[in-house]
């Protein structure tokens, strides 16, 4: 019994220490956004890598999501004679929820893990140490640029996923009815309001920030030894996915409070 309470004590302690470390890491990273030198070239390079890596994946997934969602919702709406509401309903679900979350999860799998593995390898092979001794803060050059790149790019990728998703939806509708894309889009956007778009965009920015941050944190704190590189990549995906859902939950609550 005593052993068990002791163990619980230790794991609670570990958890709190880890939490404290993450908060510190986050604050230090944010601080680097405002400290010279601003590594613009590295930022562009990272942005390019991220976009290049994920664009095809996100376009295909977004397209299929829109298509499948429409095909599956249609029969139900037809039963109620409400198929004219289909575009609006799909647009709301894609733009408010599915677009951002699916994009973020894909990015967690692709980018967070990539950053985790890359930084983990840099840590293990002492590249981060080498930077440090040559007078460059790895937090500034490596971490801040990556976090900034994901923060900027994930919202753009979400936008792409939304657009391609709507296209998929249009094609699904088109299989059954003769609607023009103009009519489809005007029906879709009619039911959208400002309050659908703003929370979704804010949410995407946070998704992007944490995707970069968690990947970086996991890589940056990799222990010694090559197996820790794989571990960092792995736990980056797990933690980032979890955090995405938590942020999603929080933004739903907040936008209810603010915009309802």
Contacting positions for other proteins (CB under 8 A):
37, 118, 121-122, 125-127, 129-136
Question: Which residue matches tokens 């500034």?
Answer: 140
Q: Which one, 72 or 226, has the nearer CB to other proteins?
A: 226
CB 168 within 8 A of CB 66: yes
Q: How far is residue 224's CA from residue 191's CA, in Å, rounded to a whole number?
A: 54
Q: Which one, 93 or 136, has the nearer CB to other proteins?
A: 136
**Element at 55 (helix H, strand E):** helix 40-79
Q: Least separation, in Å, of the C-beta of 123 and other proteins? A: 11
Q: Least separation, in Å, of the C-beta of 134 and other proteins? A: 4
Q: How far is residue 195's CA from residue 92's CA, in Å, rounded to a whole number?
A: 11
> And the tokens for 55?
């664009």
Q: Which one, 127 or 191, has the nearer CB to other proteins?
A: 127
> And the tokens for 2?
């005593």
Q: Least separation, in Å, of the C-beta of 119 and other proteins? A: 11
CB 58 within 8 A of CB 50: no
CB 127 within 8 A of CB 229: no
Q: Least separation, in Å, of the C-beta of 135 and other proteins? A: 5
Contacts of 194 (CB under 8 A, 6+ apart): none
Q: Least separation, in Å, of the C-beta of 126 and other proteins? A: 4
Q: Which one, 1 or 133, has the nearer CB to other proteins?
A: 133
Q: Least separation, in Å, of the C-beta of 39 and other proteins? A: 10
Number of Cβ within a 10 Å radius of residue 26: 17
64 HSE (CA, 13 A, CB side): 8
3-state class of 82 per DSSP?
A: coil
Q: Least separation, in Å, of the C-beta of 234 and other proteins? A: 20
Query: Dihedral, CA atoms, 9, 11, 13, 14, nearest 10 degrees?
Result: 160
């Amino acid at each position: 019994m005593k052993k068990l309470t002791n163990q619980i004590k230790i794991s609670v302690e570990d958890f709190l220490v880890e939490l404290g470390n993450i908060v510190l890491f986050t604050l230090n990273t944010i601080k680097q956004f405002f400290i010279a030198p601003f590594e613009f070239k590295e930022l562009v390079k990272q942005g390019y890598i991220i976009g290049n890596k994920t664009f095809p994946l996100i376009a295909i997934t977004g397209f299929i999501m829109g298509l499948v969602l429409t095909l599956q919702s249609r029969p139900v709406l037809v039963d109620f004679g409400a198929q004219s509401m289909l575009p609006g309903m799909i647009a709301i679900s894609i733009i408010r929820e599915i677009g951002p979350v699916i994009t973020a999860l894909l990015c967690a799998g692709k980018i967070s893990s990539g950053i985790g593995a890359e930084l983990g390898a840099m840590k293990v092979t002492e590249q981060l140490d080498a930077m440090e001794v040559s007078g460059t803060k790895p937090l500034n050059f490596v971490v801040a640029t990556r976090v900034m790149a994901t923060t900027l790019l994930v919202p753009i990728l979400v936008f792409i996923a939304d657009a391609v998703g709507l296209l998929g939806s249009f094609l699904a509708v088109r299989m059954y009815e003769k609607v023009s894309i103009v009519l489809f889009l005007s029906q879709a956007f009619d039911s959208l309001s400002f309050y659908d778009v703003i929370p979704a965009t804010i949410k995407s920015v946070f998704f992007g920030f944490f995707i970069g941050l968690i990947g970086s944190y996991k890589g940056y704190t990799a222990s010694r030894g090559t197996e820790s590189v794989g571990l960092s990549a792995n736990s980056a995906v797990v933690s980032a996915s979890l955090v995405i859902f938590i942020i999603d939950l929080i933004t739903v609550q907040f936008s209810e409070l603010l915009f309802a």
